[in-house]
Structure 1
Amino acid sequence: MSIEQLFSPTGPLALAFKGYRPRQAQIDMAKVCDSALKNAEQVVVEAETGTGKTFAYLLPALTNKGKYIISTGSKALQEQLYHRDLPTVYKALGSAKKKALLKGRSNYVCHYRLNQHVAHVPSDDTDIMHQLAMVAKFAGESRSGDIADCPGIEDDAKVLPYVTSTADNCLGKECPDFDACFLRKARLRAAEADIVVINHHLFFADMAVKESGFAELLPGADGYIFDEAHQLADIASDYFGESVSTKKVFAFITDARMLYRTELRDMLQLGKTLDKLESATMDLRLQLPHDGGRGDWRQALSNKPLCDAVHRVSKDLQFLNQVLKLALERSELVEPLLERLMSLIAQFERVFDVAPSGYSYWYEASRRHVSIHITPLNIAAKFKAMLAEREAGFVFTSATLSVNNNLAHFSDALGLSPAHQLMLASPFDYQQQALFCLPRYLPPANSPEMPRALVGICQQVIKAAKGRCFLLFTSYRVMYMVAEVLCQQMEYPVFVQGQMSKRLLLERFTRHGNAVLMGTASFWEGVDVRGSALSCVVIDKLPFIAPDDPLLQARMQECERGGGDPFAQIQLPRAVISLKQGVGRLIRDSQDRGVLVLCDNRVVTRDYGQVFLQSLPNMRRCRDMNQVTAFLQTIE
């Protein structure tokens, strides 16, 4: 059956869905996806919200012969695609293709580690003890072992490191629970399936494993489809680079202590050495600013106390290596620990080698940990070579790929040579469905008066919309300043990022129907709230990356050395795509109506503001907040 027949008024979709109407944009996208999968081509498609891009790539994948891997930008979209969209299309087509969902190893319960920690509870923390019991019950009943399905265990649960494995601590075939391993079973299902749904992180983890000379995690495929492809360049940079963190060291100490408390209890020197390493690792974090953030690692190394702290960790790791070698004959668990330890030693030595060019050397400090990163500034050649190794079709799609009506920024960053490029506009009637307001008399975006102005604007729209607002911020600091006032003064519930997991926040916001949700970067994309629960999106300012971000600075310097314009080629495109993602939260359906309020007058006072405006949907525009109030009051 041809693409036209599949999407025709008498095709399988029309028979399966009441009120189905063919959409030309969807058919155009399905045709180029079909061509890419059949002819091993690369295609790039920007398909704005409402185009129906998911069905446009799923139908060719399900009707063509061969095996296809579909990669998404987030686990949330991965779940939605596998549990909602795929079954719908399967049913419409009557497809018999085998499908599988595959996540990274940290998503599956590890029987061995779970049993170890149930027998030797890792701490007297009642939360961890309670969560261990819940996971143990779940593991005994679950077929998949996917921790996302375990009731009561959220993404940030304290117990996760104790009940899941990493590539470092997995025992592989030596594991006593190898036959029952949930991860092994998931990979076997993926190997046998015709359609495998993964996420971008897993795709690149697979590439990294393959490059190191080990077997692939993912089976080969005839075609790869990347949804939310705008995230690929940043994720690829992480995986093509190197990093080491104190969190990784603490995880090693936890596992080594477990061995010490069970099989090597008489090795007092091992216990003391682990304590010494733990103290040195904690001291390393204390050498960096208390409030955390990112910084230039090259500059940081000029700080002698910090340099000494890194050396102490490195020295203690090397001494621990000598101590552990003494126990090699006593337990089969010592050898894999030694392999991990050698890797950590090499990584800590590598962080002093900051001479090679073409990389950004930067660190990120959180409240408890610090991670040090060596990130390549240009991954186009490496990604291009990686695709060339696979004789397959590649589809890259997202609602936000273009900047100023051009896809070159996306394709160039990944070294792509697409056979077809499409930009498909949304079918939504934005002129009727939405209003865009840039309020008058705003203070400058970064002025101290801005939080107070934001509070006033937010109060007005929340009152007019009867809750039902997303307030999106570019910084935690401003978000918390505004939240402090709104939580005290508004009659509607205000949910703030960090109060609970993202999934729970969204569930509660949607279920309430008249609530307010405040979030930063992670809420700007991958959030789909349709209908009356959301009527207004307020964005505090244009989402430029902080100019002191070390990775951004390194990329801009590299661009400047090549004779380019760092602002136009690096900063501006990233900010435009981020803004498009935030704006995309507002209208998710042909019945949705709502208001976008952008509180940054640089879109009219700076020349580059036109690039932002031209990249946004064609909404009615105003400067008067009274018009916003009037529009919101007409929405039921």
Structure 2
Amino acid sequence: MSEVTAVFTSGGALSKSLPGFQPRPAQQKMAAAIESLSKAGDQLVVEAETGTGKTFAYLAPALLRGGKVILSTGTRNLQEQLFHRDLPQLRDALAPQAVAALLKGRSNYLCLNRLEQSIKHPEDADSTVLAQLQEVRDWANRTRSGDLGELASLPEDAPVIPRVTSTIDNCLGRDCPQYEDCYLVKARKEALEADIVVVNHHLFCADLVLKDTGFGELIPAADMVVFDEAHQLPDIASQYFSDTVSTRGLVDLCKDLQFLYKTVVRDAKSLSQIADQLERAARDLRLNFPMDPERGNWRDALNQDERAKASTHLAELISRAQAICKNLVGRDKDLDQCFERLDLIRKRWDLLLNTQVTGYSYWYETSQRHLTVHRTPLSVAEPFGRQLAEQEARWVFTSATLTVDGSFDYFSERLGLGNAKTLILDSPFDFAKQAMLCLPRYLPEPHAPQMADALISIVRDVIAVNPGGTFVLFTSHRMLQKVAQALTDTIDRPLMVQGQSSKRELLSTFVEAGNGVLLGTSSFWEGVDVRGDALTCVIIDKLPFTSPDEPLLQARVEDCRMRGGDPFASIQIPQAVIAMKQGAGRLVRDVTDRGVLIVCDNRIVTKRYGATFLSSLPAMARTRSLAKTLQFLAAADALKGTDVPIMEAVAGDDE
């Protein structure tokens, strides 16, 4: 028995040091597979279903192997959970001498230079920003890490954040007067010296792009890299291999130019004038789009005269601003850097206006105030795969949802993983006894006008009998709002609706209630862990196909057709299946959990592709009888702590 495998036995290090630890064969198998990666370049892809204990399964070999290890998670919340909770438990038991570091993206760290500038020149700050600026200033006097996550009272979208953090474009690097005290530099130094570095996929991909362009690296070289929640990686990588320009970035740059005019180049009035014109042009371009946030095809947008004129006018002003800055180069380091930022924006904007180049999706998205335009490669397999091949590391990709109908092809092809070993680890949960999948009969077609009323009726019926908590997961905000409106003030349960407060606060309230109803869209389909009676029913309104109007999907579909492929089978179904598996995975999170998953989309039964969805879901007991499902939910309290299988707990047949 290997050293790693021995850790997970009944008499091993974990059972001795972690109260309640139970050996799991799947966990041992995954740890052994990671341990077997013998040389640089080896790749392992593991689908470890809920309950297998995949976090400990990759942490143990990471700690025992020695060398440099990077652990990358899907979100900052998971990153902090791994660093502050899971990693310390195993490190204390297996390798107390190992040094770990938490490394976030630069936008998470206070920039002392920009804070000082904002305090000295608050002229254009409103009362909200000024209050937040004072809050940041007080905290800056006592923080050691400079991590803005310590400021829990500061909203994630606080307008002060861009003023007190740096971007890769406006960071002065070694030329910064505060370089020696820079929190980002300190965090990077700790990461360079640590044995284990915990990052997130966004930071890893950002660093990968820097490597690809030959610039400096933020993440240190490693002997092994582990991606947890790896199903998110292809889409995140696509973002970072994109060319992007936002009006927000242009407006921020114009504010920096105005600040420089007022402080260091007061004789350059033309700089202030062009900054004012450029900012106005950026805002005018946004006004050419509807006020409500949307996503759309950038090629189509440029076919409209007013938008095309506004885009061309913006390009002219960017070039003019760059020329004015060029004449001032050498007078101030911040100004020199603004010139470089303008040069990069001009090059990217030229690419975004030249939409005839193939192999990319050209798309835009709007917020209430800003427009962001992207040129996204249809596949990151080549650049991502090339970077992996050039790094002297072993690679592990793991998630509960990587396969479609038992195959890893969809995931592996998107990332260019050529010769990866694969492993599927089934959940230790007995889904046939613990969970029921209900596919109600007689539902309208998903897009029929009557569907909203049918869904509202099912939700109300469930709430009336379910003694525990209920998740209702939606594929669209429109349907969520319809159901929320129908339930508000008409049910006697705590109702939580996405958007009312932060995700963390909603989940905390939901768990505390014990019998609440939570309505959520995409962000609640994954990364949510609610155990016990607080969640006993998950209702999914529709199979989670990406909207056909989504511009990136449109481009991938068109490209697939040109290559003679079937885009529905090779792109749309796999995407939807993985999303469906994530949503279904919210239900059973522990060996004692019991519950019901209700999918309110009859296509899972009536369409041939429905079999792919069903075969990819856990082997729950199945019924088409909503009455039988409600009967089980009503009896859930009485069945608590028993081994009675779900289908034996309800009467009648399923005809």
The bucket for the TM-score relative to the shorter chain is over 0.9
Please list, as runs of the form range in 1=range in 2, the aligned pairs for 1:580-599 lying within 5 A after superposition.
Answer: 580-599=581-600
The answer to whether the 8 Å contact 1:38/1:64 transfers is no
Please state how far the C-alpha of 1:274 moved relative to its aligned partner: 2.3
Match of 1:24 in 2: 25
Match of 2:37 in 1: 36
Q: In 2 relative to 1, CA 383–323 (structure 1 residues): closer, same or farther, beyond 3 Å?
A: closer
Match of 1:607 in 2: 608
The one-letter code of the counterpart of 1:531 is G
The TM-score with structure 2 as length reference comes to: 0.93
Query: Bigger CA drift: 507-516 or 554-563?
Result: 507-516
The one-letter code of the counterpart of 1:588 is R
Query: Bigger CA drift: 426-435 or 54-63?
Result: 426-435
Between the aligned partners of 2:211 and 2:110, the Cα distance in structure 1 is 24
Please state how far the C-alpha of 1:262 moved relative to its aligned partner: 3.6
Match of 2:649 in 1: none
Match of 1:385 in 2: 386
Please list, as runs of the form range in 1=range in 2, the aligned pairs for 1:87-166 lying within 5 A after superposition.
Answer: 87-121=88-122, 123-166=124-167
The answer to whether the 8 Å contact 1:148/1:154 transfers is no
Q: In 2 relative to 1, CA 500–272 (structure 1 residues): closer, same or farther, beyond 3 Å?
A: farther
The answer to whether the 8 Å contact 1:473/1:520 transfers is yes
| 2:557 alignment partner, SS class | helix
Between the aligned partners of 2:365 and 2:59, the Cα distance in structure 1 is 39
The one-letter code of the counterpart of 1:548 is D
The answer to whether the 8 Å contact 1:434/1:619 transfers is yes
Deviations 1:587-630 (A, max 9, x none): 11112222211111100110101100111111112223333323
Please state how far the C-alpha of 1:94 moved relative to its aligned partner: 4.2
Match of 2:404 in 1: 403
Match of 1:471 in 2: 472
The answer to whether the 8 Å contact 1:472/1:582 transfers is yes
The one-letter code of the counterpart of 2:185 is R
Between the aligned partners of 1:382 and 1:635, the Cα distance in structure 2 is 51
Match of 1:316 in 2: 317
Deviations 1:543-590 (A, max 9, x none): 001112221121112112222111110000000000101111111111
Query: Bigger CA drift: 601-610 or 523-532?
Result: 523-532
Match of 1:79 in 2: 80
What runs of 5+ residues in structure 1 fail to find an aligned partner?
Answer: none
Between the aligned partners of 1:329 and 1:358, the Cα distance in structure 2 is 39
Between the aligned partners of 1:96 and 1:530, the Cα distance in structure 2 is 34
The answer to whether the 8 Å contact 2:473/2:538 transfers is yes
| 1:100 alignment partner, SS class | strand
Deviations 1:200-257 (A, max 9, x none): 1111111111222222111111111111111111112222221111121122123223
The answer to whether the 8 Å contact 1:487/1:493 transfers is no
Q: In 2 relative to 1, CA 29–418 (structure 1 residues): closer, same or farther, beyond 3 Å?
A: farther
Between the aligned partners of 2:110 and 2:137, the Cα distance in structure 1 is 9
Please state how far the C-alpha of 1:500 moved relative to its aligned partner: 2.2
The one-letter code of the counterpart of 2:132 is Q
| 1:458 alignment partner, SS class | helix
Please state how far the C-alpha of 1:184 moved relative to its aligned partner: 0.6
Please state how far the C-alpha of 1:448 moved relative to its aligned partner: 1.8
Match of 2:459 in 1: 458
Match of 1:567 in 2: 568
Match of 1:256 in 2: 257
Between the aligned partners of 1:328 and 1:408, the Cα distance in structure 2 is 51
- 2:183 paired with 1:196: no
- 2:289 paired with 1:291: no
- 2:418 paired with 1:437: no
Please state how far the C-alpha of 1:124 moved relative to its aligned partner: 4.9
| 1:333 alignment partner, SS class | helix
Between the aligned partners of 2:431 and 2:52, the Cα distance in structure 1 is 14
- 2:207 paired with 1:206: yes
- 2:171 paired with 1:185: no
Please list, as runs of the form range in 1=range in 2, the aligned pairs for 1:299-338 lying within 5 A after superposition.
Answer: 299-328=300-329, 330-338=331-339
Match of 1:351 in 2: 352
The TM-score with structure 1 as length reference comes to: 0.96
Q: In 2 relative to 1, CA 115–189 (structure 1 residues): closer, same or farther, beyond 3 Å?
A: same
Match of 1:4 in 2: 5
Between the aligned partners of 2:193 and 2:145, the Cα distance in structure 1 is 16
Query: Bigger CA drift: 332-341 or 185-194?
Result: 332-341
The one-letter code of the counterpart of 2:348 is Q
Deviations 1:125-153 (A, max 9, x none): 33322222222222221121111121201
| 1:276 alignment partner, SS class | helix
Q: In 2 relative to 1, CA 461–122 (structure 1 residues): closer, same or farther, beyond 3 Å?
A: farther
Match of 1:422 in 2: 423
Deviations 1:76-111 (A, max 9, x none): 111111111001111221431111111110111111
Deviations 1:354-392 (A, max 9, x none): 222211112222322221111111222222211110121
What runs of 5+ residues in structure 2 fail to find an aligned partner?
Answer: 638-655
Please state how far the C-alpha of 1:330 moved relative to its aligned partner: 4.5
| 2:583 alignment partner, SS class | helix
Match of 1:50 in 2: 51
Between the aligned partners of 1:476 and 1:297, the Cα distance in structure 2 is 23
- 2:369 paired with 1:360: no
The answer to whether the 8 Å contact 2:474/2:520 transfers is yes
Match of 2:66 in 1: 65
Please state how far the C-alpha of 1:301 moved relative to its aligned partner: 1.6
Match of 1:534 in 2: 535
Deviations 1:441-490 (A, max 9, x none): 21110112222222222222223235622211111111112112222322
The answer to whether the 8 Å contact 1:37/1:222 transfers is no
Between the aligned partners of 2:323 and 2:421, the Cα distance in structure 1 is 58
- 2:227 paired with 1:226: yes
Deviations 1:506-529 (A, max 9, x none): 223223333222211111111112
The answer to whether the 8 Å contact 2:436/2:597 transfers is yes
The answer to whether the 8 Å contact 2:40/2:392 transfers is no
The one-letter code of the counterpart of 2:529 is D
The answer to whether the 8 Å contact 1:32/1:420 transfers is no
Between the aligned partners of 2:555 and 2:152, the Cα distance in structure 1 is 43
Between the aligned partners of 2:449 and 2:210, the Cα distance in structure 1 is 48
Please state how far the C-alpha of 1:179 moved relative to its aligned partner: 1.3
Q: In 2 relative to 1, CA 517–26 (structure 1 residues): closer, same or farther, beyond 3 Å?
A: same
Match of 1:236 in 2: 237
In angstroms, what is the RMSD of aligned CA positions?
1.8
The one-letter code of the counterpart of 1:629 is L
Q: In 2 relative to 1, CA 93–246 (structure 1 residues): closer, same or farther, beyond 3 Å?
A: same
Between the aligned partners of 1:515 and 1:310, the Cα distance in structure 2 is 48
Please state how far the C-alpha of 1:190 moved relative to its aligned partner: 0.3
Q: In 2 relative to 1, CA 117–605 (structure 1 residues): closer, same or farther, beyond 3 Å?
A: same
The one-letter code of the counterpart of 2:157 is D
Q: In 2 relative to 1, CA 496–122 (structure 1 residues): closer, same or farther, beyond 3 Å?
A: farther
| 2:244 alignment partner, SS class | strand
Please list, as runs of the form range in 1=range in 2, the aligned pairs for 1:488-527 lying within 5 A after superposition.
Answer: 488-527=489-528
Please state how far the C-alpha of 1:273 moved relative to its aligned partner: 2.5
Please state how far the C-alpha of 1:303 moved relative to its aligned partner: 1.2
Q: In 2 relative to 1, CA 39–170 (structure 1 residues): closer, same or farther, beyond 3 Å?
A: closer
Between the aligned partners of 2:636 and 2:18, the Cα distance in structure 1 is 28
Between the aligned partners of 1:480 and 1:258, the Cα distance in structure 2 is 43
Deviations 1:525-544 (A, max 9, x none): 11112223222211110000
Q: In 2 relative to 1, CA 454–612 (structure 1 residues): closer, same or farther, beyond 3 Å?
A: same
| 1:617 alignment partner, SS class | coil
Between the aligned partners of 1:336 and 1:28, the Cα distance in structure 2 is 52
Query: Bigger CA drift: 508-517 or 245-254?
Result: 508-517
Q: In 2 relative to 1, CA 329–43 (structure 1 residues): closer, same or farther, beyond 3 Å?
A: closer
